[in-house]
Amino acid sequence: MTTRPVSELYRRVGVVGIRKPGYPRSESIIEGLQNLGYTIRDLPLSRQTPTWRRLLALLRHFPAFRQVDWLFIPHSNQLIAPLVWLLATLMRKKVVLDYMLGLTDSYEDRGYPPGLKRQIARLIDRFNIARMDSLTDTQAHRQAFRRLLGIEPERMRVLPIAAREGVAALPSPDAGVLVVKWVGTYIPFQGVDVILRAADRLRDRDDLVFEMIGDGDSFPQAQSLMNELGLPNVHLLRGSFPFSQLETMVARSAVLLGVFGDAEKTRYVIPNKVLDALTWGRPVITAESPALHEFLTPGEHLITVPPGDPDALAAAIVRLAEQPALRAKLAEQGRQFVLEHLAGEAQLQRLQTIVEDVLCQNQAQICDG
């Protein structure tokens, strides 16, 4: 769908900040804005430079603010957002900030101890969410910000993560040993320890093998636990790989795994990996959460188990291993649903509604014209 922006006065958008290459959230929003008729002007900042250098670079972008009508700040730019807001306010420009992940919930997720850094993160998050129009991925995540920060995120709107478009369904894997695969970052909420303990319960199943791909802070602990349990049915591949390469790696899998940590974050996000797995046309098992129920139906689109429960995860894996018809049904229904409801026209309509709502605040005479 292509349509005119809400007003010709607002058609030029400055995208300011770091943009993580290949990150589907930011790319889908920016591409969606283009499809809606907005003109994008990139005002990039380098990920390789320290924060203070980014702030200086942002000041150099300031004159370009005159050449755009409003500003969009992608995910991972919370630290520079207060200065963007200040500069934009001086020019009476609106700012929309993607709060896919806040600083406070990131520190909570990674288990950072209380200290000055976490206090500063909380202050920055409170400032950003109170003063800027912002986006997050689920209503549960919006409520989590309220709990974590002690403020009502009145200007925060929900835009779910979009499924990647143009991704073909992977062909069914060869018959034989059934590969159960996890791809992700080794951080607490992923629940890698739960997966390894589930694999321990299934060590006597010659028809099952676990493959785990990823890297992160807690990789050494995962490797230590795997060695402690002596798991012959688990293979680790350490590293971070581009999506195109992951597609080849995932092709031999019969079941893909989501997140399983018994953590607060598990309850308020729908991980990218879950949508990617469904888009590939693979049956998925992940932890039960209120966030999932906002957009997906367990038993129809995927299988869920209680977080932090290796016995339940092992039982779900056995269920899928022994029911190929169920695997095929979930794969087909899951892929069809996300492509119809979390991509394309449906996702574009959500974005259009949010942007028009933001831009039309106190501008009814322009928006109605």
Average pLDDT, stretch 137-165? 94
In whole angstroms, how far apart are CA 244 and each of 20, 168, 175, 241?
16, 12, 24, 8
pLDDT at 116: 86
Looking at the structure, tell me whether residues 46 and 128 fall in a common domain.
yes
Least confident of 79-83, 194-198, 227-231, 263-267: 263-267
Looking at the structure, tell me whether residues 151 and 297 fall in a common domain.
no
- Domain annotation covers residue 103: yes
Q: Are 29 and 58 in contact (CB under 8 A)?
A: no
- Nearest alpha-carbon partner for 288 in 317, 267, 316, 310: 267
Tell me the residue length of the chain: 369
pLDDT at 293: 96
What is the average pLDDT score of the chain? 92
Q: What is the pTM of this model?
A: 0.90
User: For 155-210, how does the pLDDT look when each residue is reduced to its tens digit (9 = 90+)?
Assistant: 999 999 999 989 999 998 988 899 999 999 999 889 999 999 999 999 999 999 99
pLDDT at 101: 84
In whole angstroms, how far apart are CA 327 and each of 84, 232, 322?
48, 25, 9
Percent of the chain whose pLDDT exceeds 90: 79
Confidence of residue 1 (pLDDT cuts 50, 70, 90): very low
Average pLDDT, stretch 280-284? 97
What dihedral do alpha carbons 363, 366, 367, 369 form, nearest 10°?
150
Looking at the structure, tell me whether residues 286 and 352 fall in a common domain.
no
Looking at the structure, tell me whether residues 227 and 337 fall in a common domain.
yes
- Domain annotation covers residue 169: no
pLDDT at 2: 45
Look at strands 94-98 and 39-44 and give their pairing.
unpaired
Structural domain including 185 reads: 178-341
- Domain annotation covers residue 87: yes
Looking at the structure, tell me whether residues 87 and 208 fall in a common domain.
no
- Nearest alpha-carbon partner for 285 in 253, 263, 246: 253
Looking at the structure, tell me whether residues 335 and 362 fall in a common domain.
no
Percent of the chain whose pLDDT exceeds 70: 94
pLDDT at 146: 92
Q: Are 184 and 253 in contact (CB under 8 A)?
A: no
Least confident of 78-87, 222-231, 242-251, 344-353: 242-251
Looking at the structure, tell me whether residues 225 and 107 fall in a common domain.
no
Looking at the structure, tell me whether residues 325 and 353 fall in a common domain.
no
- Domain annotation covers residue 170: no
CATH of the domain at 254: 3.40.50.2000
- Residue 86's φ and ψ, nearest 5 degrees, are -60, -50
Strand order in the sheet with 255-257: 234-238, 208-215, 178-185, 255-257, 284-287, 303-305
Looking at the structure, tell me whether residues 125 and 193 fall in a common domain.
no
Looking at the structure, tell me whether residues 354 and 334 fall in a common domain.
no
Number of domains in the chain: 2
